[in-house]
Each structure stands twice: as structure tokens, then as C-alpha cells.
Amino acid sequence: MFPLGLYNHNFKGQVSILIVSIMPLFYQNITGVVLNLITFVIILLPLPWMGR
């Protein structure tokens, strides 16, 4: 996305590029974990009631 040559002298620029490239993965992991938790709760909540 960004020309990396412009940011070679700028550490803050490199860090911002790193953060921008990592954030989508981070958000994908967060949403994956949240979806897993939601399905986990939906599956496990009815089990005690079914036992009765």
C-alpha cells in the first residue's frame, strides 16, 4: 500500500505501517474468538435444561 522507501528514515512511519498491516489480522482473530464464544454458549446453555 505505502512506498516503504519513504519510511526507511522514519521509525514512527514503519511502526504505523506495521500496526496497519497487523490490525486486520487482529480484528479477524477477535471476531473469530467472539463467534466461537457465542456458539459455545448457545450450544452449552440448553444442555442442563435438556437434562431435566
Binned average pLDDT, 10 residues per bin, the chain of 52 residues: 55 74 78 87 74 62
Q: How many domains does the chain have?
A: 1
Domain with 9 in it? 4-51
pLDDT score recorded for residue 23: 78
The rounded distance, in Å, linking the Cα atoms of 26 and 22 is 6
Residues found in the chain: 52
